[in-house]
Amino acid sequence: MGNLGFQEILLIAVVVLVLFGGRKIPEFMRGLGRGVREFNDAKDNVKKELEDGMREKEVKASTPASTSTSNDYNEYLEWKKQQEMSATKEPAR
């Protein structure tokens, strides 16, 4: 079932010619070519998106904490320092 010889290919070509006619075969082949091209383009786009996603994931994993988190932490430290300073300045009651 796997190998097609010259006679089998010739028989398939004759059957296609009889079924579709000489004028329809070029249109059929153009449509087939467009379909294959669109499939390959879609496959390449999916591959590129997956690679970009993996690259972004690697970059996020290798970079330190985000700037907003660092700023939040720094603001907390400043607040804590001010609280400690104000607690030591208040007179005891």
- The answer to whether residue 78 sits within a structural domain is yes
- The answer to whether residue 32 sits within a structural domain is yes
Please report, as a single letter, which amino acid is at residue 3: N
Tens-place pLDDT, residues 41-67: 999 999 999 999 888 888 777 766 555
In this prediction, residue 17 carries a pLDDT of 86
The helix (run of H) or strand (run of E) holding residue 62 is helix 6-62
pTM of the model: 0.46
The number of domains in the chain is 1
Tell me which residue range forms the domain holding 18. 6-88
- The answer to whether residue 46 sits within a structural domain is yes
- The answer to whether residue 17 sits within a structural domain is yes
- The answer to whether residue 49 sits within a structural domain is yes
| Cβ count near 92 (within 10 Å) | 3
- The answer to whether residue 93 sits within a structural domain is no
